Amino acid sequence: MAYLVLARKWRPQNFTDLIGQEHVSQTLANAIRSGRIHHAFLFTGARGVGKTSAARILAKALNCDEGLSDQPCGICSSCTEITAGQGLDVIEVDGASNTGVDDVRELRENIRYLPNRSRYKIFIIDEVHMLSTNAFNALLKTLEEPPEHAKFIFATTEPHKIPVTILSRCQRFDFRKIPLARVASRMREISDAEQLTISDRSLSLVARQGEGSMRDALSTLDQVIAFSGEQVDDEAVQTLLGMVDRRLLLDTVEAVLQRDSRRALDAVRRVDQLGLALRRFTQDLLEMFRGMVICKVVEDPAEMLDLVGEELKELKALAEEASLDDLQRIVTLLMKTQTELVNSSFPLLTLEMSLVRLATLAPTQDLAKLISHIESLEKRLGSTPLPKPQHPAQRPTPNPTPTPTARPAPAPAPAPTTPNPSPDPPPKKPEAPVATSTESKGWQGLVDQVKQSRPMLGSVLEHGRLLKLELPVIEVGYTKGSFMSSQLQEPDISQDLEVLTTEYFGQPVKLRVLAVDIEQQSAAPPSLVEEREAKETDRMRRLREDAMEHPALKSVQDIFKGEIKKVIPIDKGFV
């Protein structure tokens, strides 16, 4: 006898055998018991969830020799013929192969004839959405006014492709995907009946491969039996199906949650060495993080997750290690990675960088706590005015001298018998000389004038140290051997500079460029650039001191435990 595959051998034979479709079974059984049987039914749903099986069960219930019953006997000639697909009054039509209007016209001709020996002539059209528009139009009149002896059962995976004129004339039943736990439980019954030795873990892997389809899961189980025989090994199942080891997935999830980039990269390396599909690994990883999100937001996640036994406990424990916001960000990034892997020239690198990014994501802050800190800060700063910038002339001196109206100064303390000598004041930085002529302008003015007509030459001048300004002689010092010194000594540049200097001061001027050793620079006056930098440094120092002493900033530091990294001036008038 030819081998009968498990999906056909264990096909449901009555309504109680329809796993996961109790809403359909109960409705049809009640309709049969009450005699309120519609003339057209539409069964919709994913592949392998029991649509065609339910159609045959309904046909047996309507034509059973024992009478109308929601529990057909299964042993009469009518039931056995329908089970074998050979019923004379139950006509099964493949909509994908009979799409034309001529096929439907032939069907309509057949409908007119009474059943041979059964109560009803039943027409089961599978994949009815494949019929052409003309074929639907030809069928429409029959559905609108069907003969009493005719019943129609349509099955489809794509109900949206069926015209609404057909849909409105049918009772619609939506078949659901079968939960993994129900599929695994049914497969355990079948495995025991077939005398197979297989673990619950392997059955769970096979059931998950079916993705809610009992027929696909049983077909996969057939493949496993052909590979392993009646003694099924867990590793053999995993290798055959190309599925990722759950331990490897758990290691990767833990690496991401514990922010261990090294461990995450090692997981990718193991996936690559095992020859597993990177997209499949990413998909399984995405499913795990999705399950963790569901564990966070659903009180009983088992109803929404295809997990059984210890798998659900492990996932709940992992979900406790991360916040909901972090898990949502991880799911979003993994979805993006799944898309990028499709067209990536370097899929392994893409996955590695994605996991490194996930493992280095900064944890999200509690928004409610942050808002509370801000509200507290607003209350504390509500009565504290911001400081107004002051001109140096308006700044109070550090130690103001008491006015005559102040309280009398205390009597001076007696001088010690051996007074300590006061320390010598630090040497004062030499200042740049000024022009001896009262009518002349300064060195700064000369540099500004030169920069307007010769910007590069003016920039060279402002880096020089003014050693002497006694018209008609000006001496400027530069570091010995420097580029600027040699540039000013070139004849063309020196001549041009003397012309500009003469025009500025209104009299012939001799500009001398002198070399200054590094040891002599401390005694020489600073250049204009050095003066400007010193002023800016002093300005920033005073600005930072003012900011650090402001009560508002101190309150911010106290609340947020922050550290001031940089002070940026926003008042251009502050000097």
CATH code for residues 246-359: 1.20.272.10
Q: Do the Cβ atoms of 362 and 259 come closer than 8 Å?
A: no
Which element (helix H / strand E) includes 574? none
SS3 248: helix
Say whether domain 443-524 belongs to CATH 3.30.300.180.
yes
Positions of CATH 3.30.300.180 in the chain: 443-524
Q: Which two tokens stand for residue 525?
A: 């006056």
What pLDDT, on a 0 to 100 scale, did the predictor assign at position 423? Answer: 52
Q: Regarding the domain delimited by 180-241, which CATH topology (the fold level of the hierarchy) does it fall under?
A: Helicase, Ruva Protein; domain 3 (1.10.8)
- Residue 13 phi, psi dihedral angles, 5° rounding: -115, -10
Residue appearing with tokens 């089970």:
83
Radius of gyration of the CA atoms of the chain, in A: 46
Residue 97 contacts by C-beta under 8 Å, 6 or more apart in sequence? none
The amino acid at 213: S
Rounded-to-integer distance, Cα 234 and Cα 198, Å = 8
DSSP assignment of 59-103 equals HHHHH-TT-S-SS--S-SHHHHHHHTT--SSEEEEETTT--SHHH
Cα angle 143, 144, 145; round to 5: 95
Q: Do the Cβ atoms of 126 and 155 come closer than 8 Å?
A: yes
DSSP assignment of 452-517 equals HH-HHHHHHHHTSEEEEEETTEEEEEEETT-HHHHHHTSHHHHHHHHHHHHHHHTS--EEEEEEE-
405: exposed, middle or buried (Cβ count in 10 Å: 0-12, 13-18, 19+): exposed
Positions of CATH 1.20.272.10 in the chain: 246-359
CA dist list (Å): 62 to 75, 97, 265, 382, 484? 14, 27, 61, 82, 108
pTM of the predicted structure, to 2 decimals: 0.57
- The residues of the chain scoring below 70 in pLDDT are 1, 99, 242-243, 306-309, 364-373, 375, 377-441, 518-522, 561, 570-575
Rounded-to-integer distance, Cα 130 and Cα 96, Å = 5
The architecture CATH gives domain 6-174: 3-Layer(aba) Sandwich (3.40)
Rounded-to-integer distance, Cα 114 and Cα 135, Å = 23
Rounded-to-integer distance, Cα 31 and Cα 319, Å = 46
Per-residue model confidence as pLDDT tens digits over 92-120: 888 877 767 777 888 888 888 888 888 89
Cα angle 157, 158, 160; round to 5: 150
CA atoms within a 13 Å half-sphere pointing along the CA-CB vector of 573: 6
CB atoms within 10 A of CB 279: 14
Rounded-to-integer distance, Cα 527 and Cα 134, Å = 96
Strand 90-94 and strand 121-126: pairing? parallel
Residue 288 contacts by C-beta under 8 Å, 6 or more apart in sequence? 249, 250, 253, 315, 318
CA atoms within a 13 Å half-sphere pointing along the CA-CB vector of 293: 14
What pLDDT, on a 0 to 100 scale, did the predictor assign at position 418? Answer: 46
Which element (helix H / strand E) includes 126? strand 121-126
Q: Which residues, in sequence order, are bridge partners of residue 172?
A: 42
Which element (helix H / strand E) includes 349? helix 347-359
CA dist list (Å): 216 to 5, 12, 178, 465, 575? 12, 15, 11, 90, 80
Residue 532 contacts by C-beta under 8 Å, 6 or more apart in sequence? none
- Report the residue count for the chain: 575
What pLDDT, on a 0 to 100 scale, did the predictor assign at position 155? Answer: 93
